[in-house]
């Protein structure tokens, strides 16, 4: 019987690293995204058609797909000339496909069933953390309240030097019940990597998810980011990241995987040219408990400062 692993995250980081790597092992993956995007193509569909934002779950579907490459490329293809905040141009075909199906059937679960079938996702599942509409707020250290995942992700209207103190939703929402079920049965929980306040922590805000994480017997593993991000994790250390994850899960992590290889200034500068808002390498705290904090060289050999999916997956599976 295949081991079951629940993976929490969003954006492109988790799908291109954790999911791609773990998929090569005889496991069943459940990828959970927050469903709180409020910028770009997803936001326009939310406004025009009252559908859930499909951006993150689209990326998960592509990563978990066993379909021919043309289907994956089609799902990722961007169409149109409209420029959104953050530099994204047009709509991805996958967003149109998922949101269009939800609009036609008035049923997000039906849209996901067809999307899984089209992309030939056989052994795995991409799940929403919730199927209820909601948005996210952040309270800054000066008491200012900012609205929306897109403003947290790419600060436009607030000072990004101010620390985020707390996240909360516009209203209380229920967790998607299959997510609670798979957490309770999981052999392993993997969180990240991904933007802390706009991708990872929001996954834990729907009602019952944190409670399910507290009760599960599965080991909980956090894959720490390699770089800090302006407006979210300025000057963060490995411990800063893991403490925040534990705060919002309201329980302890069993393991924290972090990159101990410090990249050259030249590589960091090159990476920052193509990665909006990226600052510096995550600081490594002194005297971390090596039974919980597992440091390793887990970067791809050259180019952007990303986790190597195969090295990361091997390390996760060893736990």
Q: Is residue 105 part of a domain?
A: yes
Same domain, 231 and 293: yes
Same domain, 30 and 179: yes
Same domain, 103 and 230: no
**Could you give the CA distance from residue 7 to residue 15 in angstroms, rounded to a whole number?**
10
Q: What is the pLDDT of residue 47?
A: 87
Domain limit, last residue, from 88, 105, 126: 126
Same domain, 314 and 216: yes
- Which tens digit of pLDDT belongs to each residue from 97-110? 999 999 999 999 99
Same domain, 26 and 62: no
Of the candidates 43, 117, 134, which has an alpha carbon nearest to the alpha carbon of residue 85? Answer: 43
Domain limit, last residue, from 104, 126, 148: 126
The beta-strand segments (E) located in the chain are 3-8, 27-33, 78-83, 89-92, 125-128, 136-140, 145-147, 164-169, 188-191, 219-223, 227-229, 255-259, 278-281, 293-296
- Which tens digit of pLDDT belongs to each residue from 117-163? 999 999 999 999 999 999 999 999 999 999 999 999 989 999 999 99
Q: What is the pLDDT of residue 81?
A: 78
Give this prediction's pTM.
0.96
Same domain, 296 and 199: yes
Strand pairing category for 78-83 and 27-33: unpaired
In the block, tokens 């990361």 appear at 312
Q: Is residue 151 part of a domain?
A: no
Same domain, 308 and 187: yes
Q: What is the pLDDT of residue 262?
A: 86
Same domain, 281 and 246: yes
Q: Is residue 243 part of a domain?
A: yes
Structural domain harbouring 184: 1-34+173-319
Strand pairing category for 227-229 and 278-281: antiparallel
Same domain, 179 and 286: yes
Q: Is residue 74 part of a domain?
A: yes
Q: Is residue 164 part of a domain?
A: no
| Residue 97 CA: distances (Å) to CA of 36, 78, 79 | 18, 12, 12
Q: What is the pLDDT of residue 88?
A: 66
| CB < 8 Å & 24+ apart, contacts of 154-158 | 154/39, 154/85, 154/86, 154/231, 154/276, 154/277, 155/230, 155/231, 156/85, 158/231
Count of residues in the chain: 319
**Could you give the CA distance from residue 121 to residue 98 in angstroms, rounded to a whole number?**
14
Same domain, 180 and 319: yes
Same domain, 83 and 12: no
Biggest CA pair distance of the chain: 55
Same domain, 40 and 13: no
Could you give the number of structural domains in the chain? 2
**Could you give the CA distance from residue 309 to residue 313 in angstroms, rounded to a whole number?**
6
CATH number at residue 318: 3.40.50.10680
Instruction: For residue 264, give every residue at least 6 positions away whose Cβ sits within 8 Å of its Cβ, in sequence order, or none.
Output: none
Of the candidates 83, 31, 36, 30, which has an alpha carbon nearest to the alpha carbon of residue 55? Answer: 36
Query: CA angle, 196 as apex, 274 and 100 as ends, to 5°?
Result: 75
> Is the distance from CB of 80 to CB of 90 less than 8 angstroms?
yes
Which residues of the chain fall below pLDDT 50? Answer: none
* β-sheet with 27-33: strand ranges across: 125-128, 27-33, 3-8, 188-191, 219-223, 255-259, 293-296
């Amino acid at each position: 019987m295949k081991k079951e692993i629940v993976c929490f995250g969003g954006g492109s980081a988790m799908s291109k690293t954790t999911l791609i790597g773990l998929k090569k092992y005889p496991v069943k993956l459940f990828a959970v995204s927050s469903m709180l995007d409020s910028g770009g193509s997803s936001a326009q569909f939310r406004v025009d058609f009252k559908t859930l934002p499909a951006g993150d779950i689209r990326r998960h579907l592509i990563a978990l797909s066993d379909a021919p490459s043309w289907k994956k490329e089609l799902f990722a293809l961007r169409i149109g000339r409209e420029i959104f905040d953050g530099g994204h141009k047009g709509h991805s075909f996958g967003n149109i496909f998922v949101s269009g199906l939800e609009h036609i059937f008035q049923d997000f679960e039906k849209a996901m069933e067809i999307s899984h079938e089209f992309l030939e996702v056989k052994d795995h599942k991409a799940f929403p953390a919730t199927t209820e509409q909601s948005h996210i707020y952040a309270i800054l250290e000066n008491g200012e309240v900012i609205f929306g995942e897109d403003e947290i992700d790419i600060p436009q209207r607030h000072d990004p030097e101010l620390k985020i103190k707390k996240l909360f939703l516009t209203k209380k929402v229920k967790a998607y019940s299959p997510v609670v079920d798979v957490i309770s049965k999981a052999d392993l929980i993997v969180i990240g990597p991904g933007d802390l306040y706009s991708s990872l922590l929001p996954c834990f805000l729907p009602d019952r998810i944190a409670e399910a994480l507290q009760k599960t017997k599965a080991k909980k593993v956090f894959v720490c980011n390699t770089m800090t991000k302006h407006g979210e994790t300025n000057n963060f250390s490995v411990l800063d990241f893991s403490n925040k994850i534990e705060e919002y899960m309201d329980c302890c992590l069993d393991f924290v995987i972090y990159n101990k290889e410090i990249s050259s200034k030249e590589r960091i500068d090159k990476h920052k040219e193509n990665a909006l808002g990226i600052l510096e390498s995550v600081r490594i705290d002194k005297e971390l408990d090596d039974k919980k904090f597992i440091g390793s060289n887990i970067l791809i050999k050259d180019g952007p400062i990303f986790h190597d999916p195969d090295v990361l997956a091997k390390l996760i599976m060893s736990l």
